[in-house]
Chain A
Amino acid sequence: MTGKGTVAIAAAAAASIGAAAILWALVLSAPAPEPPQVVLIVPTLEPDAPAAPPPVYAAEMTDSGARRFFDHVATQVAATGSMDGGAYAAAFVAAGVPGELVEASESVTTDGYAAETVQFSVRWADRCVIGDVGHGTYTSQVEPAFHWGTCLAGNTRPRTW
Protein backbone atom coordinates (compact mmCIF):
# COMPACT_ATOMS: atom_id res chain seq x y z
CA MET A 1 0.00 0.00 0.00
CA THR A 2 1.30 3.45 -0.89
CA GLY A 3 1.80 6.22 1.61
CA LYS A 4 -0.75 8.31 -0.24
CA GLY A 5 -3.32 5.55 0.03
CA THR A 6 -2.75 5.24 3.76
CA VAL A 7 -3.18 8.95 4.24
CA ALA A 8 -6.36 8.96 2.17
CA ILE A 9 -7.77 6.06 4.15
CA ALA A 10 -6.94 7.66 7.47
CA ALA A 11 -8.41 11.01 6.43
CA ALA A 12 -11.54 9.45 4.99
CA ALA A 13 -12.08 7.30 8.03
CA ALA A 14 -11.59 10.24 10.36
CA ALA A 15 -14.00 12.45 8.40
CA SER A 16 -16.63 9.76 8.11
CA ILE A 17 -16.43 8.84 11.77
CA GLY A 18 -16.57 12.51 12.71
CA ALA A 19 -19.64 13.16 10.59
CA ALA A 20 -21.32 10.01 11.83
CA ALA A 21 -20.57 11.01 15.41
CA ILE A 22 -22.12 14.45 14.89
CA LEU A 23 -25.23 12.98 13.29
CA TRP A 24 -25.51 10.34 15.97
CA ALA A 25 -25.07 12.89 18.72
CA LEU A 26 -27.89 14.96 17.22
CA VAL A 27 -30.17 11.96 16.89
CA LEU A 28 -29.37 10.83 20.41
CA SER A 29 -29.75 14.25 21.92
CA ALA A 30 -33.03 15.05 20.22
CA PRO A 31 -35.52 12.38 21.34
CA ALA A 32 -34.95 12.97 25.03
CA PRO A 33 -35.45 16.70 25.65
CA GLU A 34 -35.24 16.13 29.39
CA PRO A 35 -34.94 13.04 31.50
CA PRO A 36 -37.82 12.45 33.89
CA GLN A 37 -37.53 15.01 36.60
CA VAL A 38 -36.05 13.63 39.77
CA VAL A 39 -35.56 16.73 41.83
CA LEU A 40 -37.90 19.68 41.53
CA ILE A 41 -36.95 22.95 43.13
CA VAL A 42 -40.15 23.95 44.82
CA PRO A 43 -40.55 27.51 46.04
CA THR A 44 -41.11 27.75 49.74
CA LEU A 45 -44.66 28.69 50.50
CA GLU A 46 -45.22 32.03 52.11
CA PRO A 47 -44.40 31.55 55.74
CA ASP A 48 -47.71 31.13 57.49
CA ALA A 49 -48.17 31.72 61.16
CA PRO A 50 -46.59 28.69 62.83
CA ALA A 51 -49.90 27.16 63.77
CA ALA A 52 -51.76 28.15 60.58
CA PRO A 53 -53.94 25.28 59.42
CA PRO A 54 -53.38 24.00 55.87
CA PRO A 55 -55.65 25.75 53.37
CA VAL A 56 -58.89 23.93 52.68
CA TYR A 57 -60.78 23.82 49.39
CA ALA A 58 -63.99 25.78 49.00
CA ALA A 59 -66.14 26.33 45.92
CA GLU A 60 -65.66 30.08 46.31
CA MET A 61 -62.24 31.40 47.19
CA THR A 62 -60.37 34.64 46.66
CA ASP A 63 -57.54 34.62 44.10
CA SER A 64 -54.91 34.60 46.82
CA GLY A 65 -56.76 32.01 48.88
CA ALA A 66 -57.26 29.78 45.85
CA ARG A 67 -53.63 30.03 44.94
CA ARG A 68 -52.51 29.25 48.46
CA PHE A 69 -54.65 26.11 48.47
CA PHE A 70 -53.46 25.20 44.96
CA ASP A 71 -49.78 25.64 45.80
CA HIS A 72 -50.22 23.72 49.06
CA VAL A 73 -51.52 20.68 47.16
CA ALA A 74 -49.34 20.97 44.08
CA THR A 75 -46.04 21.47 45.88
CA GLN A 76 -46.55 18.25 47.80
CA VAL A 77 -46.75 16.39 44.49
CA ALA A 78 -43.96 18.47 42.95
CA ALA A 79 -41.74 17.58 45.90
CA THR A 80 -41.88 13.97 44.71
CA GLY A 81 -40.43 15.12 41.37
CA SER A 82 -43.54 14.10 39.47
CA MET A 83 -44.04 15.27 35.88
CA ASP A 84 -47.31 13.34 35.69
CA GLY A 85 -50.25 15.71 35.22
CA GLY A 86 -52.59 12.94 36.33
CA ALA A 87 -50.87 12.80 39.72
CA TYR A 88 -51.48 16.52 40.28
CA ALA A 89 -55.11 16.19 39.16
CA ALA A 90 -55.64 13.25 41.50
CA ALA A 91 -54.17 15.25 44.38
CA PHE A 92 -56.62 18.11 43.79
CA VAL A 93 -59.55 15.71 43.67
CA ALA A 94 -58.30 14.03 46.84
CA ALA A 95 -58.21 17.50 48.45
CA GLY A 96 -61.87 18.00 47.63
CA VAL A 97 -61.92 19.67 44.20
CA PRO A 98 -64.66 18.36 41.87
CA GLY A 99 -62.94 16.48 39.06
CA GLU A 100 -64.66 18.42 36.28
CA LEU A 101 -62.92 21.61 37.47
CA VAL A 102 -59.48 20.06 37.10
CA GLU A 103 -57.50 19.97 33.83
CA ALA A 104 -54.02 18.74 32.98
CA SER A 105 -51.86 18.70 29.86
CA GLU A 106 -50.36 15.48 28.53
CA SER A 107 -47.12 14.33 30.15
CA VAL A 108 -46.11 12.21 27.18
CA THR A 109 -46.06 13.57 23.63
CA THR A 110 -47.76 11.96 20.65
CA ASP A 111 -44.52 10.24 19.72
CA GLY A 112 -43.79 9.08 23.24
CA TYR A 113 -41.29 11.71 24.34
CA ALA A 114 -41.49 13.23 27.81
CA ALA A 115 -43.18 16.66 27.76
CA GLU A 116 -40.67 19.31 28.83
CA THR A 117 -43.31 21.15 30.85
CA VAL A 118 -46.70 20.02 32.12
CA GLN A 119 -49.56 22.34 33.06
CA PHE A 120 -52.55 21.62 35.30
CA SER A 121 -55.35 23.83 36.55
CA VAL A 122 -58.28 24.23 38.89
CA ARG A 123 -61.12 26.56 37.96
CA TRP A 124 -63.08 28.75 40.41
CA ALA A 125 -66.01 30.19 38.39
CA ASP A 126 -64.29 32.47 35.86
CA ARG A 127 -60.87 32.32 37.53
CA CYS A 128 -58.16 29.71 37.07
CA VAL A 129 -55.10 28.77 39.05
CA ILE A 130 -52.62 27.17 36.70
CA GLY A 131 -49.58 25.20 37.80
CA ASP A 132 -46.59 24.45 35.62
CA VAL A 133 -43.84 21.90 36.30
CA GLY A 134 -40.77 21.37 34.19
CA HIS A 135 -37.07 22.17 33.86
CA GLY A 136 -36.75 21.31 37.54
CA THR A 137 -39.14 23.90 38.91
CA TYR A 138 -42.77 24.46 39.86
CA THR A 139 -44.60 27.73 39.29
CA SER A 140 -48.22 28.89 39.35
CA GLN A 141 -50.38 31.81 38.19
CA VAL A 142 -53.93 33.07 38.59
CA GLU A 143 -55.48 33.81 35.19
CA PRO A 144 -58.99 34.34 33.80
CA ALA A 145 -60.88 31.31 32.53
CA PHE A 146 -61.52 31.15 28.80
CA HIS A 147 -64.92 32.02 27.32
CA TRP A 148 -65.71 28.35 26.75
CA GLY A 149 -65.17 27.47 30.39
CA THR A 150 -61.75 25.86 30.36
CA CYS A 151 -58.46 26.96 31.87
CA LEU A 152 -56.18 25.24 29.36
CA ALA A 153 -56.40 25.69 25.58
CA GLY A 154 -56.52 22.91 23.02
CA ASN A 155 -56.86 19.20 23.66
CA THR A 156 -55.78 18.21 27.14
CA ARG A 157 -55.31 14.96 29.01
CA PRO A 158 -58.51 12.86 29.03
CA ARG A 159 -60.03 12.93 32.50
CA THR A 160 -59.41 9.84 34.58
CA TRP A 161 -60.12 11.66 37.82
Chain B
Amino acid sequence: MSGRRRARSRTHPITVGFEVLLTVGVLTCGYLGWKLTPDPPAPPVQVEAAGLASDDWEAEFASLSRRTGPELERIADEEYRNLNTDPADIGTVVGVLYAPRLGDQFKVTILEGTNKDDILDTGAAGRYQQTAQLGGAGNAVITAHRSAYGSPFWNLAELRVGDPIYVETVDGWYEYRYRNSAYVDPSQISVLNDWPDTENIGFDHLLTLISCNPRYVASERLVAYALLESFTPRSEPAPADVAPLLDIEPDRGVHW
Protein backbone atom coordinates (compact mmCIF):
# COMPACT_ATOMS: atom_id res chain seq x y z
CA MET B 1 0.00 0.00 0.00
CA SER B 2 2.61 2.49 1.05
CA GLY B 3 4.89 1.29 -1.73
CA ARG B 4 2.25 1.95 -4.33
CA ARG B 5 1.65 5.43 -2.97
CA ARG B 6 5.38 6.11 -3.12
CA ALA B 7 5.54 4.96 -6.71
CA ARG B 8 2.68 7.26 -7.69
CA SER B 9 4.20 10.23 -5.95
CA ARG B 10 7.50 9.62 -7.76
CA THR B 11 6.00 9.50 -11.27
CA HIS B 12 3.41 12.18 -10.72
CA PRO B 13 5.54 15.36 -11.23
CA ILE B 14 7.27 13.88 -14.27
CA THR B 15 3.97 12.93 -15.84
CA VAL B 16 2.59 16.39 -15.15
CA GLY B 17 5.64 17.99 -16.72
CA PHE B 18 5.36 15.96 -19.88
CA GLU B 19 1.64 16.37 -20.11
CA VAL B 20 2.21 20.11 -20.03
CA LEU B 21 4.62 19.64 -22.91
CA LEU B 22 2.05 17.51 -24.69
CA THR B 23 -0.58 20.18 -24.17
CA VAL B 24 1.76 22.90 -25.41
CA GLY B 25 2.55 20.82 -28.48
CA VAL B 26 -1.09 20.20 -29.30
CA LEU B 27 -2.01 23.85 -28.70
CA THR B 28 0.87 25.04 -30.87
CA CYS B 29 -0.19 22.81 -33.73
CA GLY B 30 -3.77 23.96 -33.31
CA TYR B 31 -2.74 27.60 -33.27
CA LEU B 32 -0.71 27.20 -36.46
CA GLY B 33 -3.61 25.47 -38.12
CA TRP B 34 -5.97 28.25 -37.13
CA LYS B 35 -3.61 31.09 -37.95
CA LEU B 36 -2.38 29.94 -41.32
CA THR B 37 -5.51 28.59 -42.92
CA PRO B 38 -8.69 30.46 -43.73
CA ASP B 39 -12.00 29.51 -42.26
CA PRO B 40 -13.93 27.29 -44.70
CA PRO B 41 -16.94 29.57 -45.35
CA ALA B 42 -14.82 32.24 -46.93
CA PRO B 43 -16.83 34.62 -49.12
CA PRO B 44 -19.63 35.79 -46.80
CA VAL B 45 -17.22 36.94 -44.12
CA GLN B 46 -16.19 40.18 -45.80
CA VAL B 47 -19.81 40.97 -46.39
CA GLU B 48 -20.63 40.46 -42.72
CA ALA B 49 -17.76 42.76 -41.90
CA ALA B 50 -19.33 45.27 -44.21
CA GLY B 51 -22.51 45.08 -42.21
CA LEU B 52 -24.66 43.85 -45.05
CA ALA B 53 -27.61 41.51 -44.78
CA SER B 54 -27.00 40.09 -48.24
CA ASP B 55 -24.07 37.87 -49.08
CA ASP B 56 -24.15 39.10 -52.66
CA TRP B 57 -21.37 41.65 -53.00
CA GLU B 58 -22.79 42.77 -56.31
CA ALA B 59 -25.90 43.92 -54.52
CA GLU B 60 -23.87 46.54 -52.76
CA PHE B 61 -22.39 47.73 -56.01
CA ALA B 62 -25.84 47.92 -57.51
CA SER B 63 -27.06 49.97 -54.59
CA LEU B 64 -24.42 52.63 -55.11
CA SER B 65 -25.13 55.49 -57.45
CA ARG B 66 -23.09 55.05 -60.59
CA ARG B 67 -21.46 57.87 -62.44
CA THR B 68 -22.54 58.45 -66.01
CA GLY B 69 -21.93 60.78 -68.91
CA PRO B 70 -19.31 63.53 -68.54
CA GLU B 71 -18.67 62.57 -64.94
CA LEU B 72 -17.68 59.08 -66.01
CA GLU B 73 -15.44 60.49 -68.73
CA ARG B 74 -13.57 62.45 -66.09
CA ILE B 75 -12.55 59.25 -64.33
CA ALA B 76 -10.35 58.23 -67.22
CA ASP B 77 -8.94 61.76 -67.44
CA GLU B 78 -5.37 62.18 -66.27
CA GLU B 79 -6.37 65.33 -64.44
CA TYR B 80 -9.14 63.68 -62.49
CA ARG B 81 -8.67 63.91 -58.76
CA ASN B 82 -11.11 62.78 -56.14
CA LEU B 83 -10.30 64.87 -53.13
CA ASN B 84 -11.61 62.22 -50.81
CA THR B 85 -13.99 64.66 -49.17
CA ASP B 86 -16.62 62.01 -48.68
CA PRO B 87 -14.87 58.71 -47.88
CA ALA B 88 -16.90 55.54 -47.68
CA ASP B 89 -17.77 54.15 -44.26
CA ILE B 90 -15.22 51.83 -42.71
CA GLY B 91 -15.83 48.25 -43.74
CA THR B 92 -17.92 48.91 -46.83
CA VAL B 93 -17.04 47.25 -50.11
CA VAL B 94 -15.24 49.79 -52.31
CA GLY B 95 -13.85 47.46 -54.96
CA VAL B 96 -12.62 44.09 -56.06
CA LEU B 97 -9.00 43.28 -56.83
CA TYR B 98 -7.96 40.97 -59.68
CA ALA B 99 -4.33 40.03 -60.32
CA PRO B 100 -3.53 36.93 -62.38
CA ARG B 101 0.04 36.81 -61.05
CA LEU B 102 -1.16 36.60 -57.47
CA GLY B 103 -3.04 33.40 -58.09
CA ASP B 104 -5.30 31.29 -60.23
CA GLN B 105 -8.73 32.96 -60.19
CA PHE B 106 -7.43 35.62 -57.81
CA LYS B 107 -10.36 37.83 -56.81
CA VAL B 108 -10.37 39.62 -53.47
CA THR B 109 -12.78 42.14 -52.01
CA ILE B 110 -11.41 45.57 -51.14
CA LEU B 111 -12.96 47.05 -48.01
CA GLU B 112 -12.68 50.64 -46.82
CA GLY B 113 -10.18 50.92 -43.99
CA THR B 114 -7.28 48.79 -42.79
CA ASN B 115 -8.45 47.74 -39.32
CA LYS B 116 -6.85 44.40 -38.56
CA ASP B 117 -9.66 42.63 -36.70
CA ASP B 118 -12.64 43.79 -38.74
CA ILE B 119 -11.11 44.02 -42.19
CA LEU B 120 -7.74 42.38 -42.82
CA ASP B 121 -8.33 39.31 -40.65
CA THR B 122 -11.42 38.47 -42.69
CA GLY B 123 -9.10 37.77 -45.62
CA ALA B 124 -10.13 40.89 -47.53
CA ALA B 125 -7.87 43.68 -48.72
CA GLY B 126 -8.21 47.08 -47.05
CA ARG B 127 -7.94 50.58 -48.51
CA TYR B 128 -6.09 53.22 -46.54
CA GLN B 129 -8.67 55.93 -46.07
CA GLN B 130 -6.28 58.87 -46.27
CA THR B 131 -4.98 57.81 -49.68
CA ALA B 132 -6.32 58.49 -53.19
CA GLN B 133 -9.54 56.92 -54.38
CA LEU B 134 -9.27 53.69 -56.33
CA GLY B 135 -8.55 54.62 -59.92
CA GLY B 136 -8.03 58.31 -59.16
CA ALA B 137 -4.93 60.45 -59.52
CA GLY B 138 -2.43 60.12 -56.72
CA ASN B 139 -1.56 57.13 -54.63
CA ALA B 140 -4.36 54.65 -53.89
CA VAL B 141 -3.03 52.21 -51.31
CA ILE B 142 -4.46 48.85 -50.32
CA THR B 143 -3.06 46.21 -48.01
CA ALA B 144 -3.75 42.58 -47.12
CA HIS B 145 -2.18 39.74 -45.15
CA ARG B 146 0.84 37.97 -46.63
CA SER B 147 0.96 34.80 -44.53
CA ALA B 148 -2.07 34.56 -42.27
CA TYR B 149 -5.87 34.65 -42.46
CA GLY B 150 -6.09 33.36 -46.00
CA SER B 151 -2.90 35.09 -47.15
CA PRO B 152 -4.34 37.09 -50.08
CA PHE B 153 -0.95 38.66 -50.84
CA TRP B 154 1.03 35.43 -50.42
CA ASN B 155 2.43 35.85 -53.95
CA LEU B 156 3.04 39.61 -53.85
CA ALA B 157 6.77 39.14 -54.50
CA GLU B 158 5.94 37.17 -57.64
CA LEU B 159 4.84 40.29 -59.55
CA ARG B 160 6.96 41.10 -62.61
CA VAL B 161 7.18 44.35 -64.52
CA GLY B 162 4.19 44.80 -66.83
CA ASP B 163 1.91 42.38 -64.98
CA PRO B 164 -1.74 43.50 -65.11
CA ILE B 165 -3.62 44.28 -61.89
CA TYR B 166 -7.32 45.18 -62.07
CA VAL B 167 -9.43 47.15 -59.62
CA GLU B 168 -13.16 46.91 -60.15
CA THR B 169 -15.22 49.72 -58.71
CA VAL B 170 -18.83 50.78 -59.11
CA ASP B 171 -17.71 52.70 -62.20
CA GLY B 172 -15.89 49.96 -64.05
CA TRP B 173 -12.47 48.34 -64.27
CA TYR B 174 -9.16 50.08 -63.79
CA GLU B 175 -6.25 48.21 -65.33
CA TYR B 176 -2.89 48.88 -63.75
CA ARG B 177 0.53 47.63 -64.77
CA TYR B 178 2.95 46.56 -62.08
CA ARG B 179 6.09 48.71 -62.16
CA ASN B 180 8.46 48.04 -59.26
CA SER B 181 8.70 47.04 -55.61
CA ALA B 182 10.42 48.33 -52.49
CA TYR B 183 11.10 46.63 -49.17
CA VAL B 184 10.71 49.14 -46.36
CA ASP B 185 10.67 49.35 -42.59
CA PRO B 186 7.13 49.41 -41.14
CA SER B 187 7.86 52.93 -39.87
CA GLN B 188 8.34 54.26 -43.41
CA ILE B 189 4.80 55.57 -43.76
CA SER B 190 5.90 57.96 -46.50
CA VAL B 191 5.05 55.17 -48.96
CA LEU B 192 1.43 56.23 -48.33
CA ASN B 193 2.08 59.80 -49.49
CA ASP B 194 0.26 61.10 -52.56
CA TRP B 195 3.50 60.54 -54.42
CA PRO B 196 5.41 57.88 -52.49
CA ASP B 197 8.36 58.91 -50.34
CA THR B 198 8.05 62.55 -51.45
CA GLU B 199 5.98 65.57 -50.44
CA ASN B 200 4.77 65.99 -54.03
CA ILE B 201 1.21 65.76 -55.24
CA GLY B 202 0.65 62.62 -57.28
CA PHE B 203 -0.42 63.37 -60.82
CA ASP B 204 -0.08 59.78 -61.99
CA HIS B 205 -2.75 57.26 -61.10
CA LEU B 206 -0.79 54.92 -58.86
CA LEU B 207 -1.96 51.76 -57.13
CA THR B 208 0.18 50.59 -54.23
CA LEU B 209 -0.15 47.10 -52.74
CA ILE B 210 1.41 46.60 -49.32
CA SER B 211 1.94 43.41 -47.34
CA CYS B 212 4.30 41.93 -44.78
CA ASN B 213 7.75 40.55 -45.53
CA PRO B 214 9.23 38.01 -45.12
CA ARG B 215 6.38 35.53 -44.91
CA TYR B 216 5.67 34.61 -41.26
CA VAL B 217 8.39 36.93 -39.95
CA ALA B 218 6.69 40.14 -41.09
CA SER B 219 9.41 42.43 -39.77
CA GLU B 220 9.29 44.67 -42.83
CA ARG B 221 6.86 45.69 -45.57
CA LEU B 222 6.82 44.74 -49.23
CA VAL B 223 5.45 47.63 -51.30
CA ALA B 224 4.45 47.00 -54.91
CA TYR B 225 3.72 49.96 -57.20
CA ALA B 226 1.52 49.83 -60.30
CA LEU B 227 0.51 52.56 -62.77
CA LEU B 228 -2.92 52.97 -64.35
CA GLU B 229 -2.91 51.74 -67.92
CA SER B 230 -6.57 52.01 -68.94
CA PHE B 231 -10.12 52.33 -67.69
CA THR B 232 -13.07 50.29 -68.93
CA PRO B 233 -16.47 51.70 -67.98
CA ARG B 234 -19.12 49.24 -66.86
CA SER B 235 -21.10 49.87 -70.01
CA GLU B 236 -18.39 48.06 -71.97
CA PRO B 237 -17.31 44.40 -71.77
CA ALA B 238 -15.03 43.59 -68.85
CA PRO B 239 -11.31 43.13 -69.58
CA ALA B 240 -10.45 39.63 -70.84
CA ASP B 241 -8.56 38.69 -67.67
CA VAL B 242 -11.51 39.71 -65.52
CA ALA B 243 -14.51 38.51 -67.53
CA PRO B 244 -14.21 34.79 -66.62
CA LEU B 245 -14.12 35.69 -62.91
CA LEU B 246 -17.12 38.01 -62.82
CA ASP B 247 -19.54 35.34 -61.69
CA ILE B 248 -17.45 33.81 -58.93
CA GLU B 249 -17.57 35.09 -55.39
CA PRO B 250 -14.56 37.15 -54.34
CA ASP B 251 -12.47 34.79 -52.28
CA ARG B 252 -9.64 35.29 -49.93
CA GLY B 253 -6.90 34.58 -52.38
CA VAL B 254 -5.65 31.34 -50.88
CA HIS B 255 -3.21 29.81 -53.30
CA TRP B 256 -0.77 27.69 -51.29
Partner-B contacts on A (CB < 8 A):
1-2, 4-5, 8-9, 11-19, 22-23, 26-27, 29-31, 33, 105-106, 109-111, 113, 115-117, 119, 121, 130-132, 134-135, 137, 139-141, 143-144, 146-148, 151-156
Check B196–A154 contact: CB distance below 8 A.
yes
Tell me the chain B residues, 144-192 only, with Cβ under 8 Å from chain A: 157-162, 177, 179-185, 188, 191
Residues in B with CB closer than 8 Å to A106 are 182-183
**Would you give the shortest CB distance from A137 to chain B, in whole angstroms?**
8
Check B220–A139 contact: CB distance below 8 A.
no
Check B11–A113 contact: CB distance below 8 A.
no
Q: Is B14 an interface residue (CB 8 A)?
A: yes
Residue picked from B7, B177, B181, most chain A C-beta under 10 Å: B181
**Given A33-B215, A117-B159: A143 touches B177 (CB 8 Å cut-off):** yes
Q: Is B197 an interface residue (CB 8 A)?
A: yes
Residues in B with CB closer than 8 Å to A4 are 15
Residues in A with CB closer than 8 Å to B206 are 153
Residue picked from B18, B195, B196, B204, most chain A C-beta under 10 Å: B18
Check A143–B227 contact: CB distance below 8 A.
yes
Check A117–B160 contact: CB distance below 8 A.
yes
State the interface size on chain B (CB cutoff 8 A): 51
A74 and B31 CA atoms in complex are apart in Å by: 46
Check B213–A113 contact: CB distance below 8 A.
yes
Check A130–B180 contact: CB distance below 8 A.
yes
**A–B Cβ pairs within 8 angstroms, 13 of them:** A16-B21, A16-B25, A19-B25, A19-B26, A110-B184, A110-B185, A111-B220, A119-B180, A130-B179, A130-B180, A148-B195, A148-B200, A154-B182
**Given A110-B183, A143-B227: A5 touches B22 (CB 8 Å cut-off):** no
- Please name the residue on chain A nearest to B139 by beta carbon: A153
The 9 closest A-B pairs by CB, nearest first: A15-B25, A109-B183, A12-B18, A12-B22, A153-B225, A147-B203, A141-B162, A132-B161, A119-B180
Residues in B with CB closer than 8 Å to A135 are 158, 160
How many A-B contacts are there with CB distance less than 8 Å? 157
- Please name the residue on chain A nearest to B11 by beta carbon: A5
A156 and B179 CA atoms in complex are apart in Å by: 13
Check A154–B223 contact: CB distance below 8 A.
yes
Q: Is B219 an interface residue (CB 8 A)?
A: yes
- Please name the residue on chain B nearest to A105 by beta carbon: B180
Binary CB contact string for chain B from 112 to 146 against chain A (1 if under 8 A, 0 otherwise): 00000000000000000000000000000000000
A152 and B183 CA atoms in complex are apart in Å by: 13
Which residue of B11, B202, B214 contacts A31 across the interface (Cβ within 8 Å)? Answer: B214
Q: Is B32 an interface residue (CB 8 A)?
A: yes
Which residue of B22, B200, B225 contacts A16 across the interface (Cβ within 8 Å)? Answer: B22
Check A132–B160 contact: CB distance below 8 A.
yes
Check A31–B217 contact: CB distance below 8 A.
yes
Residues in B with CB closer than 8 Å to A134 are 157, 160
A134 and B25 CA atoms in complex are apart in Å by: 38
Residues in A with CB closer than 8 Å to B56 are none
Check B179–A116 contact: CB distance below 8 A.
no
